[in-house]
Structure 1
Amino acid sequence: MNHTTPSDLIGIADVAAKIPKFISKVPHLLSGLKQAYLRTSNTPAGLGIAFEKAVRHNPHGTALLFEDQKFSYEALNEWANQIGHFYLSLGAQKGDVIAVMVENRPELIATVIALAKIGVTSALVNTSQSGKALTHSINLVKPIAVITGEECRAAVEEVRQDLELAADRFHWFADQATQVDAGTAPQGWTNLAEKADQFPKFNTPTTHTIQGKDGLFYIYTSGTTGLPKAVIFTHSRWTLAYGTYGHVLDLKPDDVMYCTLPLYHATGIVVCWCGVIASSATFALRRKYSTSAFWKDVKKFDASAIGYVGELCRYLMDAPPSELEKGHRVTKMIGNGMRPNIWDKFKERFGIEEVLELYASSEGNVGFSNVFNFDNTVGFSPTPYAIIEFDKESNQPVRDAKGWCKKVKKGEVGLLVGKITRRSPFDGYTDPEKNKSVIMKDVFKHGDAFFNTGDLVRDIGFRHAQFVDRLGDTFRWKGENVSTTEVENVVSEYEKIAEAVVYGVEIPHTNGRAGMAAITLNEGVELTAQDLKQMASEFKKCLPAYAVPVFLRVQAQVETTGTFKYQKNKLKEQAFDPDKTDERLLVLLPNATEYCDLTAEIFNNIQAYQYRF
């Protein structure tokens, strides 16, 4: 939990003190806000229009850097146009969906721009998915084609027969600079680089027909059923992010934003990139985050801004000091999850002046942005919202005698809800039932409607908030949302385990929550040394690395409520402390290949931050 001090609370005087530095951003910000708030669902809007505008502003400026590759705005635009014209030739039209499974590299960026311009929604598949989850993610959005990088082809091949796609709609990019050498496609795959190269480079005629209500991306979030949910991200929502976050960042054309975050998540593809497009600046990509390469890349690309999630900040703080971490151009960073306990230290150590912490969710209608550059806050929200009293025991908002919800006082924690209005619509999920479950009606008066974010935040005044905790069936670990149900399903499949309850627990000095499973064994069996090795191996095989439970608790029986819901509150509270339970506790230590018993000594070492989880 984040703890606030009286000094964290914000008043008029604090904001007034920030105004002089803020003034220089105002013209750029007003231009962005105008675009954000004049948009309607029927006006031409979105990524394609904004990108073409950036091309006009800075045609010969560098749009993209990756490894030793470099693309000007004009060149990247022409490449995207060729891909767009190819899909138009296949009959692709506005409203169609194409699943895209390519790691962070130029081919992904060119494809996303191309599809945005022709009104086709890119379903941004998590590149670490495989098996059932991958089949579900692709079939869920009914795509007309799938675009796969060679680096992800094996995972798609494995489920190919289960995908509802025509045999000639499997499109492929070689794992190399395909603009230089398109490579040779494997049997059964169409070489997209080769095909697109035969098409014209002028802008597709469709860009200005794309309206705010049209789909830009599907972004996948953890589903409570254990399978991912696809959230639609419209061009209108992108324009809102572009007009707000993009212009708050206030980059200049010679700025370089270094992004190591996966582009199948909104923080990378929306937040980091829209600030670059808003300023016709440069986007420098790395395929996957690496602590040892981070400051080397910053120097190589001459980066002046970085995208982050909380976990990334912690990795950089944990790394031994290096001469490369000083003397660079980076003064700004944008992202979410920066923990208050490292905020000041991070700025000081790495010479950062502005931390543009923000709050948003792929599906939500409420956003915060740290426009005034205060410390320890997700920032200010111009969107209509409320922070209401919430009872964690009953898992329900508190209502008064008349049935209305109650707003918390300044300095207090409550549930964040976003008011649903014409200007702040709720775009929602692909599943209408899921939409119903997150909309609260009659909150403060008859007929009103609010989106329940499922997040607890603290009201620190002047429309600013601090993120505190996430409720519900997902928790965040390693910058990813973990679905408790998905993990429960995998853990329960182990032959000796009858039942599993999964929840997130806090480890000191880490971000988010590590996975813990309370397991009940089949009658008459015990876990052997062989099981401790086999369980680790099977969980790692069936789950992404971030979802593998770090802790196991062996229970005689699982406690449930009268409605058969698991009693997770008590389990979370006891966590992995051997003094709080006499049941067997197991831990998968960093880089270990098997679970071991969690002794008092190991517990104390975890508390003392002797292990880097």
Structure 2
Amino acid sequence: MWIYLCSALVAALPLVAFTVKRLSPYLWADILYIGDLVRILLKFAWRRRRSVFFALDRFLEQTVTRPDKPFVVFENDVYTFASTDRTSNRVANALLAHPGYTAGDAVALFMPNEPAFIFTWLALAKLGSPVALLNYNIRTKSLLHCFNCSKARVLIAAAGLKEAVEDVLPSLQEQGVLVLLMVQSCDTPGIQSFSDKVDQASDAAIPCSLRAHITYKSPAVYIYTSGTTGLPKAAVVNQNRLLIALAVLSANGVSSSDVIYLNLPLYHTAGFIIGFIGSIETGSTIILKRKFSASQFWDDCRKYNVTVVQYIGEVMRYLCSTPKKENDKDHQVRLAIGNGIRGEIWREFLDRFGNIQVKEFYASTEGNVGFVNYAGKIGALGRVNFVHRILFPYSLVKYDTERDEVIRGADGLCIEAPKGDTGLLVSKITNIAPFVGYAQNEDQTERKRLRDVFKKGDLYFNSGDLMRIDKDNFIYFQDRVGDTFRWKGENVATTEVSDILTLTDCLKEANVYGVQVPGHEGRIGMAAVTVKEGAQFDGSKIYNHVVSYLPAYARPRFIRIKDVVELTGTFKQMKVKLVEENFDPGRIQDPLYILDDKHKSYIPLTAQIHSSIITGSTKL
């Protein structure tokens, strides 16, 4: 009897499996993801039970278990876990010996992607110092603002950024800031060389007592994100958040045998937390690049036997835009982790470069909710399920894009957007999902808090992102609200660009916004401006001005001359119609100009130039 019963059950298994797959095709993926989620939470809880355990402690564990394993490979240099540990000790001891620094002082790091960035951050972690990760593209006003947000007492800069430091040196000296440059010698008064001190310092281990004051709520790093107020905001990433982030790569199937290609900026969340901190957790080898290069990408992957790559949407598009080669699929890359890839680019990437698993995710530096597209649905940024929603309560609420505010019912509460409709992503602020906010900016911190959402007195985080959830529970990014747009993988704050434009002699007002360009991710900068009475538009002067004050991704590519900048009843600049009209000279009667690096000027935007941009002949 039992034999017949067992035989019947075995025979029925294929039918059961087929039925489950038809009725719930993503069930197995859901089960595996929930298992990963539970494993992450258990690991986090176990680590929190210890007296102290931070990201640094995981690195120190790796130096014991795999001291001779390559940790960072940069150009022709290889640094093992042990040699990285010793070098960071020298940096820390050199700082300790300096009279201008005390263990625990906040320090600003102003460096591009290079090993010194990693050594210095580890050194500062050993000394218990929170670190502000400054974008090495910023200059003057923005640089000073970002530095001051962190209340740093020390600035450590790369050799190649000496001129940028000299531009703000008088202000730093007024504040009594210690300025260190990674060079052997420096003849600029007020800037001290630091590389020579590091070379002479001891590599003895740093006493744990120097970081005894650190708690899980202590700030670990400040990572900057652009906002609607104009200047960047310093998102506080505390030790607790960094500890949670340790599990990101391991949760995506990355192990110590993997080789990770890190070409995204280390001052960004993606490069720092996923690439660097994630590799500390897994014990993986990092192939560190100064910057992304589409032409070198796959040659590097083959040269270093890379197995895991990171991306943002633009990276994938650039790779797909390179000339096709016979060896496009000749590599060992098995996994790509990132965010912002469009569905059509995703398909093209897989078709051209082979069977690479793409793990698209959604998260923000300061946010308290994230999603992972663990099922691999092309075009989606994640998948939602009941377990995730229990742990991290979130919702999509109706949003009025014209009024730039959530829609509330007669009871004053928000209205949940129906499945399939676009809504603003909000996430409940809880002990498990906290929102720490921005350093020295309570006003902007409060703006990201949304109160009385579904009941009086509740508190949610306002992501500022419009999303849509389909019938299969996949979530899709739709657009950003407010005045920030994204170009070249960077957030651009329109108010900051407007302020800088109006510093010129000839411009009175500037309304900055992002417009779409066919074949490009995000939106490129455009400005509708008015000219001061009695002045003339000077393309060369404005070009030199924006190049001096703004990084390349934030410079308005198009300028439109108007008689007046239109305002709403609440004195907000009107952008909707301007965005719709784009940069088409066939639709716009106003004078139009385009930034031209060859002529170092803003030159008239003709129908011919417009056509070449639309067809892709002219690259932006």
TM-score (norm 2): 0.89
State the secondary structure of the residue aligned to 2:121.
helix
Percent sequence identity over aligned pairs: 35
Determine the structure 2 residue equivalent to 1:339: 342
Please state how far the C-alpha of 1:313 moved relative to its aligned partner: 1.3
Which whole-Å CA distance do the structure 2 matches of 1:134 and 1:43 have between them?
37
Determine the structure 2 residue equivalent to 1:471: 481
Which of 486, 503, 509 pairs up with 2:519? 509
Which whole-Å CA distance do the structure 1 matches of 2:266 and 2:431 have between them?
29
Determine the structure 2 residue equivalent to 1:49: 57
Please state how far the C-alpha of 1:538 moved relative to its aligned partner: 2.2
Which whole-Å CA distance do the structure 2 matches of 1:471 and 1:11 have between them?
38
Determine the structure 1 residue equivalent to 2:465: 455
Which whole-Å CA distance do the structure 2 matches of 1:220 and 1:41 have between them?
31
Determine the structure 2 residue equivalent to 1:177: none
Determine the structure 2 residue equivalent to 1:5: none
Which of 575, 578, 592 pairs up with 1:571? 578
Q: Contact 2:94 / 2:197 at 8 angstroms: preserved in 1?
A: no
Q: Contact 1:388 / 1:407 at 8 angstroms: preserved in 2?
A: yes
Which of 257, 265, 276 pairs up with 1:262? 265
State the secondary structure of the residue aligned to 1:271.
helix
State the secondary structure of the residue aligned to 1:596.
strand
Cα distance 1:276–1:325, how it changes in 2: closer, same or farther (>3 A)? Answer: farther
Please state how far the C-alpha of 1:606 moved relative to its aligned partner: 2.4
Which of 570, 579, 594 pairs up with 2:601? 594
Determine the structure 2 residue equivalent to 1:610: 617
Determine the structure 2 residue equivalent to 1:294: 297
Which of 223, 233, 236 pairs up with 2:237? 233
Q: How does 1:342-361 map to 2 (within 5 A)?
A: 342-361=345-364
Please state how far the C-alpha of 1:41 moved relative to its aligned partner: 11
Which whole-Å CA distance do the structure 2 matches of 1:592 and 1:376 have between them?
39
Q: How does 1:161-200 map to 2 (within 5 A)?
A: 161-163=170-172, 169-174=178-183, 183-186=184-187, 188-192=191-195, 194-195=197-198, 197-200=200-203
Which whole-Å CA distance do the structure 2 matches of 1:451 and 1:560 have between them?
29
- Given residue 272 of structure 2, which amino acid in structure 1 is its aligned partner? I
State the secondary structure of the residue aligned to 1:202.
coil
Deviation track 1:300-322 (CA, whole Å, cap 9, x = no partner) reads 22211111111111111111123
- Given residue 452 of structure 1, which amino acid in structure 2 is its aligned partner? N
Q: Contact 1:61 / 1:253 at 8 angstroms: preserved in 2?
A: no
- Given residue 235 of structure 1, which amino acid in structure 2 is its aligned partner? Q
Cα distance 1:457–1:555, how it changes in 2: closer, same or farther (>3 A)? Answer: same
Which whole-Å CA distance do the structure 2 matches of 1:164 and 1:224 have between them?
30
State the secondary structure of the residue aligned to 2:500.
helix
Q: How does 1:205-244 map to 2 (within 5 A)?
A: 205-206=208-209, 210-243=214-247
- Given residue 558 of structure 1, which amino acid in structure 2 is its aligned partner? V
Q: How does 1:299-310 map to 2 (within 5 A)?
A: 299-310=302-313
- Given residue 161 of structure 1, which amino acid in structure 2 is its aligned partner? P
Q: Contact 2:132 / 2:223 at 8 angstroms: preserved in 1?
A: yes
**Which stretch has the larger CA shift, 510-519 or 565-574?**
565-574
Larger radius of gyration: 2
Cα distance 1:233–1:61, how it changes in 2: closer, same or farther (>3 A)? Answer: same
Determine the structure 2 residue equivalent to 1:542: 549
Q: Specify which structure has the bigger relative contact order, considering alpha-carbon pairs within 8 angstroms and separated by 6 or more residues.
A: 1
Determine the structure 2 residue equivalent to 1:273: 276
- Given residue 13 of structure 1, which amino acid in structure 2 is its aligned partner? S
**Which stretch has the larger CA shift, 261-270 or 567-576?**
567-576
Q: Contact 1:47 / 1:117 at 8 angstroms: preserved in 2?
A: no
Please state how far the C-alpha of 1:126 moved relative to its aligned partner: 0.9
Q: Contact 1:496 / 1:522 at 8 angstroms: preserved in 2?
A: yes
Please state how far the C-alpha of 1:481 moved relative to its aligned partner: 1.1
- Given residue 27 of structure 2, which amino acid in structure 1 is its aligned partner? A
Which of 132, 148, 153 pairs up with 1:123? 132
Cα distance 1:34–1:570, how it changes in 2: closer, same or farther (>3 A)? Answer: same
Please state how far the C-alpha of 1:281 moved relative to its aligned partner: 0.6
Q: Contact 1:218 / 1:231 at 8 angstroms: preserved in 2?
A: yes
| Aligned residues: CA RMSD | 2.6
**Which stretch has the larger CA shift, 156-165 or 126-135?**
156-165
Which whole-Å CA distance do the structure 1 matches of 2:326 and 2:63 have between them?
36
Deviation track 1:126-161 (CA, whole Å, cap 9, x = no partner) reads 111221221222223221211111111221122111
Q: Contact 2:185 / 2:193 at 8 angstroms: preserved in 1?
A: no
Deviation track 1:203-227 (CA, whole Å, cap 9, x = no partner) reads 5415676432111111122243432
Determine the structure 1 residue equivalent to 2:9: none
Deviation track 1:520-579 (CA, whole Å, cap 9, x = no partner) reads 11235443xxx2233223221221111111111111111101121111111111121234
State the secondary structure of the residue aligned to 1:99.
strand
Deviation track 1:3-25 (CA, whole Å, cap 9, x = no partner) reads xxxxxxx9972312546xx85x8
Determine the structure 2 residue equivalent to 1:441: 451
Q: Contact 2:453 / 2:460 at 8 angstroms: preserved in 1?
A: yes
Deviation track 1:445-499 (CA, whole Å, cap 9, x = no partner) reads 1221001111111113566421111111211111111111111112112222111
**Which stretch has the larger CA shift, 75-84 or 355-364?**
75-84
